[in-house]
Amino acid sequence: MHDIKAIRDNPAAFDEAMKKRGLPLQSPALLKLDEEKRARQKELDELLAKRNQFAKAIGQAKAKGEDTAGIMTESKTVNDRIVMLSADSVMDGVVSKDIITPITLDEKLASLPNIPADDAPVGKDETANKEIRTHGNKKTLNFKPKEHFDLGEKLGLMDFERSAKISGARFVTLKGPLARLERALASFMLDIHTNEFGYTEVVPPYLVKDNAAFGTGQLPKFGEDLFKTTTGHWLIPTAEVPLTNMVNDEIVAEDALPLRMTAYTPCFRSEAGSAGRDTRGMIRLHQFSKVELVSIVHPDKSDEEHERMTACAEAILQRLGLHYRVMLLCTGDMGFCARKTYDIEVWLPGQNAYREISSCSNCGDFQARRMKARFKPKEGKGNQLVHTLNGSGLPIGRTIVAIMENYQQADGSIAIPEALQPYMGGMKKISA
């Protein structure tokens, strides 16, 4: 969500930011809506004052036994106008092919993505992303590596066909040691993030209301990417939604910052618009599990926290002995709410490619303004918006994919990374 006052003060800077996002000129339409909203509010304030005057005059006339019919008629006219302005304030018409679609200023502001950070590369798509660093080396195998789904199906521990019978495409059933590997990874990640990195473990709701999905930017623009229940609740696409909304419409003390939370939850995504992409395997499912990281911080600390959060996600891959690279996303590849994003891409020998395994984003005050999430400074008057950050720390399914493809053996078995063996009851290898 954007601050209309900031746009009013510097429309050129806002337009330049939206241009970096690949959008046309925005400020003229926004400022027109803003002007209408303020004009209507001014008229509404004047009418409310006039209504109070009428009420007083009617009371005085009745006390004197005078006729109030004329004043009552004028008062009704004022009241009718107040009702109309209250119901239809800030409305404007956007004309397209002679069809007028009403839109409010807040709706227009809510539809526009965050302003990118100054150091975010400008570009249209992932080809403009910038490699920041790499860790480790690509795994060298002395045989032709298989993709994870071939390995899993041959082991008899990964079942897509039966899942399709039960739920349709883009679902998977894990069994035996692979099911245990999911549980082991979740415990391993949570232990590190809570014991070493200072995150508080949370078990949040998996169903959220409209206001929560709006607060983190899923609504209204990306509703088609979510699953909605018959009760009107939304299934969470990531624990970012309930965790970030822990401060929705709240004022926290400055001393309470930073707030760092982590959660292991199922995630549900419709994958709208991804037809034909990653149709086989576990890379892009409707249901998957993830350990999420969320930070609520002082505005002066958000850049520092972004680097810290990314390092926390990297630490998981490092302890699992997986090669990866960190990419700084360009303006055309960043998420809607992000002002700056690092993607961590893990190397998959079976695909002979890097694939995203974590995305860590600094959203600045963008989500906080939507949620009205503020903090009270120790000094000075007024409240300020917090900054919010989120990142994958990591998705369980994609981490299983990375382990299977990097630790596969010539006979089709999967070696278990040493760091995970205590969580697997001492098991060192997954075999058929």
Name the strand (E) or helix (H) holding 393: strand 387-395
β-pairing, 200-201 vs 374-376, is: unpaired
Decide: residue 57, CB within 10 A, 0-12 exposed, 13-18 middle, 19+ buried: middle
**Of 303, 310, 309, 306, nearest to 324 (Cα)?**
310
Q: Is 418 in the active site?
A: no
Q: How many CA atoms lie within 13 Å of 352's alpha carbon, on the beta-carbon side? A: 4
Q: Is 38 in the active site?
A: no
β-pairing, 387-395 vs 287-297, is: antiparallel
Name the strand (E) or helix (H) holding 55: helix 27-64
Calculate the alpha carbon distances from 220 to 56, 105, 110, 215, 395 in Å: 44, 14, 8, 10, 25
Q: Is 389 helix (H, G, I), strand (E, B) or coil?
A: strand
Q: Is 81 in the active site?
A: no
Token pair 């200023």 in the structure block, residue: 105
Question: Which one-letter amino acid corresponds to residue 70?
Answer: G
81, 180, 284, 319: the catalytic one is: 284
Contact assessment for residue 146 and residue 412, using Cβ atoms and an 8 Å cutoff: yes
β-pairing, 200-201 vs 259-268, is: parallel
Q: How many CA atoms lie within 13 Å of 391's alpha carbon, on the beta-carbon side? A: 29
Name the strand (E) or helix (H) holding 77: helix 69-88
Query: How wide is the angle at C-alpha 73 spanned by C-alphas 70 and 78, nearest 5°?
Result: 130
Helices (H) then strands (E): counts for the chain = 13, 20
Q: Is 359 in the active site?
A: yes
Structure token pair of residue 161: 């066909």
Euclidean distance between CA atoms 66 and 147, whole angstroms: 91
170, 260, 269, 374: the catalytic one is: 269
75, 361, 398, 405: the catalytic one is: 398
359, 361, 370, 392: the catalytic one is: 359
**Of 120, 150, 19, nearest to 329 (Cα)?**
120
Q: Is 260 in the active site?
A: no
Long-range contacts, stretch 378-382, CB < 8 angstroms, 24+ apart: 378/254, 378/255
Question: Which one-letter amino acid corresponds to residue 302?
Answer: S
Decide: residue 203, CB within 10 A, 0-12 exposed, 13-18 middle, 19+ buried: exposed
Would you please indicate which residues are annotated as catalytic (active-site) residues?
269, 284, 356, 359, 398
